[in-house]
Structure 1
């Protein structure tokens, strides 16, 4: 028995160090890249002389290729394995970081940002594929929680640590550093992570896999839940990844350091909420509360938090940002709800499809908030009035409520358990 336990422990350690940890580094970078512009936004506006609309469009360029990559990603992961796919994708993040560091114009920076989005597009989906290959199904929730935490740590790194680093480095130097980190992550995944024996054996042809997407695109179960998840996730991504900083400075009157501290708290709540969402969903399922009910209740709470933010009430209250981080996190419940309605061999493509739609709309949300804010004139210090943020943050509240109403029009089956599968 002792030898058996030792063998099992060695197997777990092998998987943790040689499989999970390298992929966690890639997911960490994905969240860091997604969120870093929220801190460097004043630098970009000052150096480029741009307003909120251009800043939103520039930052949102990340989501264009990120979203488009989701559709072929599922097929690539199934055919070539997560090691090869993720290592290759991260090279685009290296290229994008270099372009961004060298960028002298808005268009060059936007192109670099788009390349970064492509490079980190497989951050979580590749990890989820590796988890399903290497671990038994009963260990998937724990492994998913670890990766969710890695993403939250990336969001944390993009707040106070980046702000402190900018005291010694200019923002172009920061992106040279991120390019190096991406290159190291790519090399580690390619050379350290092994292929699971027999994992690349194909049971259906390439064109058969691609044709599967056309079937799912017309499935009403997907489009019933898509609006509520798309609006909720995209709004959270847009605000946490960019507009938190400008809001705290313009509406809350905070300086950069104070704003970064609240952004750090938000990222901490986001990190904690990744695991908390799964735990709460599991406990509620045991007393008969379905994932569908929890999703609708949490989205309603999310809308109420957004309403407070739109009104400018308690803009600098830490509890407001903790609540935003926790409630915005619960939108990931859409993945297990949707996945439970499809056969297991289709879940990868179904999830990446939903992920593609979510991140495609994240571009619209992040850029759109900037376009709305830019409708108001800037003050003498370059700040926008609180009214601009009221409209920008208020519109998603209305859309969320409409999304809940649409989702409730037709019953949807729920996952029997409470685990969650987050977005990339």
Structure 2
């Protein structure tokens, strides 16, 4: 664990900031929509701008990590994230807030990739998923901090104050990464000096690889479901479908974050254990895909009135969606270690494009119905939105069942 504390934990600290930033919008989304008079599609676009910047940065960031290492890249990006939070805190309208979210999206864009790269260098292959899961668990604490704690902080310091807190945290984590994380793995030589064009061309080989084409869509969609709902639409669903006020809504978002924490460590450790015993590296992600499909069916049925049932559904939804990093590790094992950053970012950019499309598509679907008297959206729209994401998951699963063509 000393190695984990020195190498993985500081990088997980920026994931904490990442998770807090994403989940906070689900907590503050209804407040921001009322303050800036945003429609569902406008609120979806505001949240999606963060993920659009996140996605646009993926391929350059993955290449940078492979060439210059997680320590240098994450230190710089931590400071960029701090700048983005400061812009949000100073925003006077939705455009300023959107710009701040774009800068923040770039700043936290390499969180998971940097951890996967370092873990690939420092741990045996069959331990990478487990150690990455522990790192994601630490990051998931940011989701916890962005629910009830944020709801309690807003009356005291306002939503702008919350952004200032995140800015200070980003600066602190950047300094921690620079002071603690080594330049490269044990015995690893500096990356060979090749033309930049040759390094960029490796992305083409990754995207054309039969394993990537077969498994990446399903793995990316699994993580995208978490980003889409935890990042925005879970909060409005709890308000408009379940009819919950601010306090119980924050409590159930806390349940969601708890499921993400449990799933992060549980699915990662299970994947490593099963692989050590000869199981397929994708076994846990496959089970998680089936589980999250079942949760979507339950949400389409629109269960209301029982906080325990609702908490259990969203807890399991988050738990299953947390298996995404185990899928990243499984796909990455089919490539050489020097490509670890680029493989992870290739999956990530696929996932984030899906998040951008899904968050907007759900907003468009909800806007097909008139807004309710309380300013929310019609419950029927949420059912159709969930049916849309479920259909996409079924299509991705059918693609995964096709044999690889070398």
Which TM-score applies when normalising by structure 1? 0.87
1:302 corresponds to: 292
Structure 1: 5+ residue stretches without partners:
1-11, 414-424
1:96 Cα deviation from its structure 2 partner: 0.9
1:225 corresponds to: 215
1:398 Cα deviation from its structure 2 partner: 1.0
1:168-194 Cα offsets, whole Å, 9 max, x none, are 111011111211111121122224444
The yes-or-no answer on 1:76 pairing with 2:64 is yes
Bigger CA drift: 390-399 or 180-189?
Answer: 180-189
Distance change >3 Å, CA 90–CA 374, structure 1 → 2 = same
Q: Distance in 2 between matches of 1:266 and 1:163?
A: 15
Q: 309, 315, 327: which is aligned to 1:322?
A: 315
Quick check: 2:257–2:318 contact (8 Å CA) kept in 1?
Answer: yes
Matched position secondary structure for 2:229: helix
Quick check: 1:292–1:412 contact (8 Å CA) kept in 2?
Answer: no
Flag as ranges the 4+ runs of structure 1 deviating above 6 A: none
Distance change >3 Å, CA 130–CA 230, structure 1 → 2 = closer
Distance change >3 Å, CA 221–CA 127, structure 1 → 2 = closer
The yes-or-no answer on 1:258 pairing with 2:248 is yes
1:143 Cα deviation from its structure 2 partner: 2.9
Structure 2: 5+ residue stretches without partners:
none
1:156 corresponds to: 144
1:359 corresponds to: 352
Q: 323, 331, 340: which is aligned to 1:338?
A: 331
Within a 5 Å distance, the mapping from 1:243-282 to structure 2 comes to 243-282=233-272
1:259-293 Cα offsets, whole Å, 9 max, x none, are 11011011101101112113333555577763445
Q: 185, 191, 203: which is aligned to 1:202?
A: 191
Calculate the aligned-residue CA RMSD, in Å. 2.4
2:48 corresponds to: 60
2:93 corresponds to: 105
Q: Distance in 2 between matches of 1:100 and 1:25?
A: 21
1:129-169 Cα offsets, whole Å, 9 max, x none, are 33344455565445323211111111111111111111211
Q: Distance in 2 between matches of 1:173 and 1:328?
A: 30
Matched position secondary structure for 1:168: helix
1:318-374 Cα offsets, whole Å, 9 max, x none, are 221122122222343432332233233333322211111111211111222122112
Distance change >3 Å, CA 155–CA 203, structure 1 → 2 = same
Matched position secondary structure for 2:105: helix
Q: Distance in 2 between matches of 1:128 and 1:40?
A: 30
Structure with max Cα Rg: 1
Quick check: 1:373–1:389 contact (8 Å CA) kept in 2?
Answer: yes
Q: 351, 354, 376: which is aligned to 2:369?
A: 376
Q: Distance in 2 between matches of 1:215 and 1:285?
A: 26
Paired residues, what number?
401
The yes-or-no answer on 1:241 pairing with 2:234 is no
1:37 corresponds to: 25
Q: Distance in 2 between matches of 1:133 and 1:81?
A: 11
Q: Distance in 1 between matches of 2:155 and 2:51?
A: 28
Q: Distance in 2 between matches of 1:203 and 1:312?
A: 55
2:395 corresponds to: 402
Which TM-score applies when normalising by structure 2? 0.91
1:54-96 Cα offsets, whole Å, 9 max, x none, are 1111011111121121111222112222111101111221111
1:301 Cα deviation from its structure 2 partner: 2.5
Quick check: 2:137–2:262 contact (8 Å CA) kept in 1?
Answer: yes
